[in-house]
Amino acid sequence: MKTVSTARSHGGVQGVYSHTSKTCQCDMTFAVFVPPQAAGGPCPVLWYLSGLTCTHANVMDKGEYRRMAAELGMIVVCPDTSPRGDDVPDEADNWQFGKGAGFYVDATQEPFAKNYRMYSYVTEELPALIAENFPADMDRQGIFGHSMGGHGALTIALKNPDRFRSCSAFAPIVEPSTAGWSKPALEKYLGTDEAAWRGHDACALVADGARFPEFLIDQGTADSFLDEGLRPWLFEEACQRAGIPLTLNMREGYDHSYFFISTFMDDHLAWHAKRLAAGYPESRAS
């Protein structure tokens, strides 16, 4: 692991790091904020997964999470959204696929299967790197994200309920297998057999029996992608059928941008901090 940069912020340290990923077979960059409480021992870890066209830098520069993360004593990890490099296959004229649009899946189709292994990268390789190099309490992990990253957070939590104690999302793609802007990507990454997509579709995972203690979703009513790609009501219906508690906040007048995300970032951090507190799984405090 190489240190790209570090900066003091709210008593903690915001760092950017790079490493050669064996999973994605390319160099990857990620950001980590370590709060001041880490000087006294390991801190809980909150993963933030970014959306289409983003890198680790979008939320780091515009998400406004450091003040609250420092107050609450949480490490915040911000991975990239896809493999990078000149040798990584891409569709440069398609912002919904390729670099910046890994969809947090492990691709099975050529030529993408070699590099586009973001699910394994986020759930296996990068957590091991974080555990080795940062004062992280890996027994207390939460995950959240935006848009494509919200899709990633929901699906990863549903597939790993023993690892993550909390999960939330900003404007997530809840059913990518039927959304016009994500269905083509799943086909290119995973093939034409739609049964293979179900493991990377939050609504399908719930329908197929996956469970998680509860979810929090914030969605702007003025989001231009709401009806075409996001459709949080589908996940609400799936959770209702499965008996999974879901808090869905429809935020009047907010769009899909980081103006929206930064407005409600503190709410999500506080929500996660409560669920990552010692003893919370036993007490299940509201």
Q: Catalytic positions, please? A: 147, 223, 256
For residue 196, the surrounding DSSP H or E stretch is none
The span from the CA of 145 to the CA of 161, in Å, is: 16
List the Cα angle 124/201/221 in 5-degree steps: 115
* Number of other residues whose CB lies within 10 A of the CB of residue 227: 8
Per residue, the 3-state secondary structure of 31-63, as one string, reads EEEECHHHHHCCEEEEEEECCCCCCCHHHHHHC
Retrieve residue 129's tokens: 């790197």
Residue with tokens 């394994």: 120
Retrieve residue 56's tokens: 């680790």
Dihedral of alpha carbons 113, 116, 121, 125, sign: positive
